[in-house]
Amino acid sequence: MLRVVDDNGRNAEDATVAAGVVGAGPDLDELCRLAAKDMIAVALEAERRAWLEAHAHLTDATGRRLVVGNGYLPERTITTGAGQVEVKAPRVADRRPEEAREPFSSAILPRYMRKSPKVTEVLPVLYLRGLSTGDFAPALAGFFGSDAGLSASTINRLTEAWQAEHQRWSARDLSSVDYVYLWADGVYPRVRLADADGNRDPLCLLVIVGVRADGTKELVTVVDGYRESTESWAEVLRDLKARGMAAPVLTVGDGALGLWNALGQVWPETTQQRCWVHKTARVLSALPKRLHPRAKELLHAISYAESRTDALAAAKVFADELSDHPKAVAKVIDELDVLLSFYDFPAPHWKHLRTTNPIESTFSTVRLRTRVTKGAGNRQAAVAMAYKLLDAAQDRWRRVRAPELVPLVRAGATFIDGQLQERSNQQVEDTNKERAA
């Protein structure tokens, strides 16, 4: 630890206090920026040193190294979360024949980088949450220390890059990826859009998130749909299937018929689970407000029952108590089978399978957007920004509980009320024969 002592023998703490009193010395933000600058410089040097050590065995006839340090590139300014930082990237000279050279490229500071990935990630989030492109410079100037590189034209160029990235990502091969569970939902961010003729049309994003065999959650697709119609969903699912994606074991979604009709066409073998959050909202919309608190209690008793038998008993209580409101009762009783599908899956997964929360939570604040951008928006740009928002968010998505049970679900293991059932020897032999065939 560095200890600073001034001419009068005071320690660092005393000197810091004195500096704060008289207003001398850098403020906290400036200290963070300087610290970031020093840390980046140290990290870049360590990265170059590791590269040189990895190639230390390469020498010429006289024993001199062929791969050596070669000064620094010109200084450039990088916009980071700590503000703008001046950086000099180390260079490496490779004296081997041209065909054998291996160019040194920093993973920390790639060539031409001007903004840290986190700064780039925050831009679509701010846009979708209400900040127009013209407001980026003044809004972020105070945070990053300067508005350089964050102008409206820069944001527009980034948007074009995000659109290209989204197109490449949407065409990726899915034959090597296994999604056991899917969440699907149609999201309506309040972005003002217009076509070439000036006609207004709300944007509907068809979003699918999946759970891989290791229990991790991953964004599968986000596309521009049309009011969650059957054909829109069918087109999305057919595209996923054409790119090699296998049928999921379970799909969770709201009550929109478009999704389920399309799922029946493309993957009829997939089990369906209705989202309890969406179902609760629809039931309450069919009841007078004075009954909402009690209705929520009754619905909670169904969806959080310990077993399917208990859930069915709670559903009967719900139907009996609210018998004067047949429309509300029918919304639950008529779909009880697909509302209780989760009981046939591992109990630790129930929390994840009752609702479409992985999608809803990410878009919760976006749904509340009331401020529109200046001028008509662009559909492709809005979809690309939504993709970037989800792409940034998925790094923070947690794995499902008990991830070790996900492969068992894919393998066809039987769960009753969330508990794994032992399979007989004959069942195991039959399964092995099917796989061999």
Q: List, as one string, the DSSP characters of 294-338.
A: HHHHHHHHHHT-SSHHHHHHHHHHHHHHTTT-HHHHHHHHTTHHH
Phi-psi region of 51 (alpha: psi -120 to 50; beta: other; left: phi over 0): alpha
Note the pLDDT of residue 12: 43
Nearest CA-CA partner of 183 in 415, 357, 380, 37 = 357
Note the pLDDT of residue 18: 41
Nearest CA-CA partner of 182 in 210, 214, 221, 217 = 210
From first to last of its 437 residues, what are the pLDDT tens digits of the chain?
344 444 444 444 444 444 444 445 566 667 777 777 787 888 888 889 999 999 999 999 888 999 999 999 888 887 776 667 888 889 999 989 888 888 888 877 777 677 676 666 666 666 555 555 566 666 566 555 554 445 566 667 767 888 899 999 999 999 999 999 999 998 877 665 555 555 566 778 899 999 999 999 999 999 988 778 899 999 999 999 999 999 999 999 998 889 999 999 999 999 999 999 999 999 999 999 999 999 999 999 999 999 999 999 999 999 999 999 999 999 999 999 999 999 999 999 999 999 999 888 877 655 544 344 443 357 787 788 788 878 878 888 999 999 999 999 999 999 999 999 986 555 556 656 665 65
47-54: long-range contacts, CB 8 A cutoff, minimum separation 24: 47/90, 47/106, 47/107, 47/108, 48/90, 48/92, 48/104, 48/106, 51/92, 51/104, 52/92
Note the pLDDT of residue 160: 81
Note the pLDDT of residue 277: 94
* 3-state class (DSSP) for residue 402: coil
H-state helical runs in 345-403? 350-353, 357-363, 379-393
Which residues, in sequence order, are CB contacts of 254 under 8 Å at separation 6+?
185, 186, 274, 275, 278, 279, 356
Distances 134 to 49, 149, 156 between C-alpha atoms, Å: 43, 13, 10
Note the pLDDT of residue 127: 59
Between CA 365 and CA 319 the distance in angstroms is 34
Listing DSSP states for 79-141 in one string gives EETTEEEEE--EEEEE-S-GGG------SSS-TT--B-HHHHHHHHHHHHTT--GGGHHHHHH
Note the pLDDT of residue 346: 98
Note the pLDDT of residue 133: 58
Note the pLDDT of residue 370: 35
* 3-state class (DSSP) for residue 260: helix
Between CA 27 and CA 372 the distance in angstroms is 37
Note the pLDDT of residue 102: 86
* Residue for token pair 């959080």: 304
Note the pLDDT of residue 148: 47
Note the pLDDT of residue 16: 43
Note the pLDDT of residue 2: 40
The structure's pTM equals: 0.69
416-420: long-range contacts, CB 8 A cutoff, minimum separation 24: 416/343, 416/344, 417/306, 417/307, 417/308, 417/309, 417/343, 417/347, 418/343, 418/345, 418/346, 418/347, 418/348, 418/350, 419/347, 420/346
Domain ranges of the chain: 12-100, 167-419
